[in-house]
Amino acid sequence: MTDYQLIVVGGGPAGLAAAIAAWEEGLTKILVVERDRDLGGILNQCIHNGFGLHHFGEELTGPEYAGRFVQKLAETGVSVLTDAMVLEVTPEKQVRLVSREMGYQELTAQAVVLAMGCRERTRGAIGTPGTRPAGVFTAGAAQRYVNIEGQMPGKRVVILGSGDIGLIMARRMTLEGAKVLACVELMPYSGGLTRNIVQCLQDYDIPLYLSHTITEIRGKNRLSGVTVAQVGPDRAPIPGTEQDFACDTLLLSVGLVPENELTRAAGIPIDPHTNGAVVYENRETECPGIFACGNVLQVHDLVDYVTAESELAGRAAAAYLAGGCPADDEPYIAVDAGAAIGYTVPQRIRPGKIDKSAELFFRVRAPMKKSRILVTSGGVQLAAYPRERLAPGEMERIQLPKSLLQKAMGSITVSAEEVAE
């Protein structure tokens, strides 16, 4: 006897959608464990709008989007444990956790969904020469201070990295009366959505320095300034291009990393390209009955896709139980990231487990003009998908019909190439 049919680790949009989907598929003993005080995950601090265009067909703010799922969950019989941190998940699906209410507990489940989300990279701060004064924050930490706690981190701000969180915070700090002097991006293009470049930087005349980096951080106790320099194609600073900015705050927006300590400790194989678990088409990891979805699996830019992916995982967990928890021995097709492709999710597809088609997510390594995405197997082209443009900041999706997969020999390779305009 297990305590639960399904335990979901993490109560962000991924965990919520997975739990609701599993409930709708007929599971009745489900537990969601969340370490924070409230459900909703990172969305609670993302007070800007732009969520839900795909899923609800309207633009919601983060708290509104999360609120809809929290509400929906409350209408089910899913149990929720907040202020509770999962310490360990074993391949046998024992879940060890500690909570304010119950102390240390060991619970068992027939299936587990991992939905721990991601955290911010701090790289870039570590590699930058200079002092280590107060006033250097990750953009997400600053977002939490401003939006949840109501504290302003500073008055004169420079942002390193042009990821979406940094762009959103450039606008947020400006609206709250701070002066944002510059957004500095190492690459020759921004990793953020065009929409955010326009509405967060251009609307407020905040300059974006592409192919630039911070070469020095100054200040004794509090940050007093940074030096910004242009970089060459090798991304090394070009001497003589330095300019100084006097500022009391530096926000780092240099990327997100899936939070996979639990996954690794369970011995579940991780894809070095996504930093998330290697998964099958239904988001099952290599450990049967353990699934992963949302930002813990791959860093998403649109929460709508997180929801879709997590519903898939939740339904799959229910199907796994309905099928009597089978050991996995079905043949699969490996998906390889070929030319110009950074990664794919899923990494493995079992044609026997899909209805009509499998959806494949991926990102390109660098921006591309008019292109086509190619799917090949054993050197033979199976399909081509035209695209007007591709960018690393925007996740791509293609549908792989079952008939196509049946033609594949052992593995398929996804690649992209530019075509003449």
**Which residues contact ligand FAD by CB under 6 A?**
9-15, 33-36, 41-43, 46, 50-51, 85-86, 115-117, 140, 143, 164-165, 168, 259, 262, 294-296, 300, 302-304, 306
381, containing H or E segment:
strand 380-387
Q: How far apart are CA 32 and CA 11, in angstroms?
A: 6
Nearest alpha-carbon partner for 156 in 251, 254, 246, 252: 246
> Of 64 and 259, which has the nearer Cβ to ligand FAD?
259
Nearer to ligand FAD, 172 or 212 (CB): 172
Task: Note whether 102 binds other proteins by CB under 8 A.
Answer: no
Closer by beta carbon to ligand FAD, 27 or else 33: 33
- Picked from other proteins, ligand FAD, none, the partner binding residue 161 (CB below 5 to 8 A depending on kind) is none
Query: Does 36 interact with other proteins (rule: CB under 8 A)?
Result: no
Under the binding rule (CB under 8 A), the answer on residue 101 touching other proteins is no
Alpha-carbon gap, residue 308 to 297, rounded angstroms: 13
* Stretch touching other proteins by CB under 8 A, among 23-31, 145-153, 209-217, 252-260: 145-153
Stretch that binds other proteins, among 14-22, 24-32, 196-204, 376-384 (CB under 8 A): 196-204
- Applying CB under 8 A, does 82 fall inside the site for other proteins? no
Taking the least distance from each CB to ligand FAD, the nearer of 146 and 340 is 146
**Angle made by CA atoms 1, 116, 363, in degrees to the nearest 5:** 125
Q: Which stretch binds other proteins (CB under 8 A): 36-44, 211-219, 338-346, 352-360?
A: 36-44
Q: How many residues bind other proteins (CB under 8 A)?
A: 27
Residue 55 in the binding site for other proteins (CB under 8 A): no
Which among 41, 70, 24, 116 has a CA at the least distance from the CA of 312? 24
Instruction: Verify binding: residue 308, other proteins, rule CB under 8 A.
Output: no
Written as six digits, the tokens of 276 are 């998330």
Q: How far is Cα 95 from Cα 8, in angstroms, rounded to an integer? A: 10
DSSP calls for 78-131:
-EEE-SEEEEEE-TT-EEEEEETTTEEEEEEEEEEEE---EEE--TTTTTS-B-
Q: How many CB atoms lie within 10 A of CB 186?
A: 18
- CA dist 101 and 134 (Å) reads 35
Which among ligand FAD, other proteins, none contacts residue 102 (Cβ within 5 to 8 A by kind)? none
Closest to ligand FAD by CB, 73 or 340: 73
Q: Which is nearer to ligand FAD, 298 or 371 (CB)?
A: 298
With CB under 5 to 8 Å by kind, the binding choice for 192 among ligand FAD, other proteins, none is none
Query: Beta partners for 225?
Result: 218, 246
Buried b (16+ CB within 10 A) or exposed e, 34-54: bbbeebbbbbbbbbbebbbee
Beta-ladder partners of 383: 375
State the nearest-atom distance from the C-beta of 327 to ligand FAD, in Å: 27
> What are the tokens at 333?
């097709």
Select 164 or 284, whichever has its Cβ closest to other proteins: 164
275 binds, among other proteins, ligand FAD, none (CB under 5 to 8 A by kind): none
